[in-house]
Structure 1
Amino acid sequence: MIQLLNTQKENLISAKISGKISKNDLEKMHPLIHNIINKGKKVDFYFEMEDFKGYTLKGFWEDIKIDSAHISDYGKMDFVGDKKWQEFVANVTDFFTSSEVKYFDSKDKELAKKWILK
Structure 2
Amino acid sequence: MILYHSTPDSPVVEISVEGKITDHELRDAIERMRGDIELNGKTRVLERIEHFSGIEPKALWTDMTLGIPLARRITRAAVVADAGWIHASMHLARFFTKAEIKAFHVNELEQARAWINA
Shorter-normalised TM range: 0.7 to 0.9
5+ residue gaps, structure 1, are none
Deviation at 1:59, TM superposition (A): 1.0
Q: After superposition, what is the alpha-carbon deviation per residue over 1:8-53, rounded to whole angstroms, capped at 9, x for unaligned?
A: 8622221211011111111111222222232351222111111012
Equivalent residues, number:
118
Corresponding residue SS for 1:58: helix
5+ residue gaps, structure 2, are none
Corresponding residue SS for 1:47: strand
Query: Which residue number corresponds to residue 102 of structure 1?
Result: 102
Query: Which residue number corresponds to residue 92 of structure 1?
Result: 92
Tell me the TM-score normalised to structure 2 length: 0.86
The reply to whether residue 80 of structure 1 matches residue 70 of structure 2 is no
The reply to whether residue 13 of structure 1 matches residue 13 of structure 2 is yes
Tell me the TM-score normalised to structure 1 length: 0.86
Q: Percent identity?
A: 24
Query: Which residue number corresponds to residue 39 of structure 2?
Result: 39
Task: Say which is worse superposed, 3-12 or 77-86, in terms of deviation.
Answer: 3-12
Q: Letter of the 1:36 partner, please give it.
A: D
Deviation at 1:114, TM superposition (A): 0.6
Task: Say which is worse superposed, 5-14 or 26-35, in terms of deviation.
Answer: 5-14
Contact 1:22 1:60 in 2 (8 A): no
Deviation at 1:104, TM superposition (A): 0.2
2-side partners of 1:80 and 1:8: how far apart?
A: 23
